[in-house]
Chain A
Amino acid sequence: MNLSESFLTALDSLLANKMRAVLTMLGVIIGVAAVISLMSIGNGLNASITSEIQSIGTNLLTISTDMDNSDGYQTLSMSDVAALSDSLNAPALGEVAAMVQGNQAVVNGSNEIQTAVAGITANYLFVSNLDEMQNGNGITQNDVDTKARVAVLGSEAATDLFEEAYPIGQSVKINGVSYEVIGVLTESGSGFGNTDGNVFVPITTAHSRLYADRTRDGEKAVTVITAQAASEAETDAAIEQITETLRRQHDIVYAADDDFSIFSQADLLDTFDTITASLTAFLGAIAGISLVVGGIGIMNIMLVSVTERTREIGIRKAVGAMKRDILAQFLLESVLLSILGGFLGIVLGWIVSRVGGNLLDFETIVDAGTVMMATGFATAVGLIFGIYPAWRAADLRPIEALRYE
């Protein structure tokens, strides 16, 4: 019997027992689809978090007071910003910006929100990668120099305060004083630490009207200094220079600890890498279990049908089938089922991953290695449990196969 005959026989046999064929395939489909979709969601999440952090800029450094070493005082001030901006002190730094922040009630007519109101230097939004405007302008150096009562709204704050109305040129009240709205920022995204609900005013205005905190030396305090390393490669040098400069500024003696802390985006990236890696591993474990369950499903169907199939083999041998005819038929049956099941599993997994990505609002990543591993495993299980019983039965004498129970 030639191959095409064996193929047609295998096809005939599958069609004669569609239920068994579908159930077997279902195991392969579920296993493959589960692995592909779960892994793609894990990978996608990882990539989306990484790119979000990278979009802020991996050379961004954030300096804040280390409250454990400051006797309850804020330690950072505008003179620190000036010192860090001096390229003699910190040649590895580019732009240095500052921000002083607290919670305030912001009011427009009957709309009131409690939100973070930040006093910022003119370059702050740019340094923090938040300088894309939806409407109007950002805070200028002139606004800072003149302590202007102007405000820039995050997109969400603008909607909450003005609803459908056009906010530019209107005024909002912060701490009882009116500010002219000069700009609205674009939505920064769904990610962590998002500032869409915040309101920004010039740092000088904030210092004189909103936040009276002083450092131990009596200078006006800033909450955060953000600085860009001149390049990603110079991040370490920049951290060292910041440390030296600030220790000198703050008169910290050799033996004492820093009264500030420096946080780089690279640190953040590492932290999230660890989190997403364990998330991916967790999803992978669930996927692996699905694969094994699918495999057991395949195995069960195959083993349940062994009796019937052994008799079938007996009948076929009695009327003249040779061992290789039997093996070819069963091999082709298993191959057909596994390939078709694997293919459907890939399609289903891809669809689930797409739908999941849409629901979770990030791009899922289907990687070829996962697809091959899952399909390979499910196919192997299908093949082994499809062929092994046939292999044994083909070795039996026809009468033994006919009598099998």
Chain B
Amino acid sequence: MITMQNITKSYEMGTQVVHALRGVDMQINEGEFVAIMGPSGSGKSTLMNIIGCLDIPNSGTYTIDDIDVSHMSDDEQAKIRNQRIGFVFQQFNLLPRTSALKQVALPLMYAGYNRAERTARAQEALQAVGLGDRMDHRPDELSGGQQQRVAIARALATDPNIILADEPTGNLDTQSGAEIMQIFKTLHEEKGITLIMITHDPEIGEQAERVIWIRDGLIQ
């Protein structure tokens, strides 16, 4: 369970201060599929980065399963990201010149698995997203949809219970986008993974169990 209380985050741009989040209270239960929606610039990505421990809030408390993660050290947060959270970004964020298999094995390496275990689990994850025949391909040898599936396999590799996806279909054509959504839904339904997805697309919003609306840094 994810709980946020009065989370604020602002960015300083020279003399100007941008208040991206102005006091967010929120709760997401285990196994939920939640869509976060709102206009561009409303603070969706900022919120997701904080949920994912990629960034830290200016104030407020944030707990995952009653563990306070907002005050953890960098390395402790790295461990949370590694074990409990998987990320899928709009821009894929894959390592250049690196095979799909090695991309997916990366979180497993930081988790401390040995080479054989890493390869086995990475292969399994790639097969789960339908890329069993593309393991040796590098990002520049894969289509956008395939790259995003590698990213999903990477997010799944350490068996996290939360997947955060920031507009995962934003850079994809309708067809690939639909395939990616199908993979997410299957994961959510079969593995009971908590799925938090930022989206612009009302159709995707409709597939979620709940939509959290955000505007000007506040939950509506």
User: A-side interface residues toward B, CB under 8 Å?
Assistant: 1, 5, 9, 12, 16-17, 308, 311-312, 314-325, 397-400, 402
Contact = CB atoms under 8 A, between A and B. Distances in A.
A144 to B, nearest CB: 85
A319 B97 contact: no
Given A320-B107, A402-B54, A312 B87 contact: no
B14 interface: no
A308 B96 contact: yes
| Interface SS of chain A | helix
Contacts of B109: 1, 5, 9
B83 interface: yes
B110 A399 contact: no
B61 interface: no
A322 B78 CA distance: 6
A320 B110 contact: yes
Contacts of A9: 109
Nearest to B110: A320
Which 9 pairs across A and B sit closest by C-beta, in order of nearness? A320-B82, A320-B110, A319-B107, A399-B54, A16-B97, A399-B55, A398-B54, A322-B75, A399-B49
A87 B155 CA distance: 101
A397 B110 contact: no
Choose among A1, A316, A399 the residue with the greatest number of B CB atoms under 10 Å from its CB. A399
Given A315-B94, A320-B107, A402-B93, A397 B81 contact: no
B93 A315 contact: yes
Given A1-B110, A320-B111, 10 more contacts: A1-B112, A5-B109, A311-B93, A315-B95, A319-B106, A320-B78, A321-B110, A397-B56, A399-B49, A400-B55
19 contacts: A16-B96, A16-B97, A17-B97, A312-B96, A316-B106, A318-B52, A318-B87, A318-B93, A319-B82, A319-B106, A319-B110, A320-B111, A322-B74, A322-B78, A322-B110, A323-B75, A398-B54, A398-B81, A402-B54
Contacts of B110: 1, 316, 319-322, 325
B81 A318 contact: yes
Nearest to A312: B95
B127 interface: no
Given A320-B81, A398-B54, A399-B49, A16 B158 contact: no
B210 interface: no
A264 B110 CA distance: 75
Contacts of A5: 109
Nearest to A321: B110
B121 interface: no
Nearest to B77: A398
B154 interface: yes
Contacts of B102: 12
B198 to A, nearest CB: 14
B122 to A, nearest CB: 12
A18 to B, nearest CB: 9
A386 B209 CA distance: 48
Interface string B85-106: 0010100011111100010001
Contacts of B78: 317, 320-323
Nearest to A20: B97
Nearest to B45: A399
Contacts of B71: none
A400 B93 CA distance: 13
B191 interface: no
A397 B55 CA distance: 6
Contacts of B81: 317-320, 398
A320 B105 CA distance: 12
A1 B118 CA distance: 13
Interface string B5-33: 00000000000000000000000000000
Interface string B47-71: 0010010111000000000000000
A320 B56 contact: no
Contacts of B87: 318-319
Contacts of B158: 320
Nearest to A12: B102
A399 B45 CA distance: 10
B58 to A, nearest CB: 13
Contacts of B55: 397-400
A9 B95 CA distance: 13
Nearest to A400: B55
Nearest to B158: A320
A17 B54 CA distance: 27
Contacts of A321: 78, 110
A9 B89 CA distance: 24
A400 B87 CA distance: 15
Nearest to A8: B115
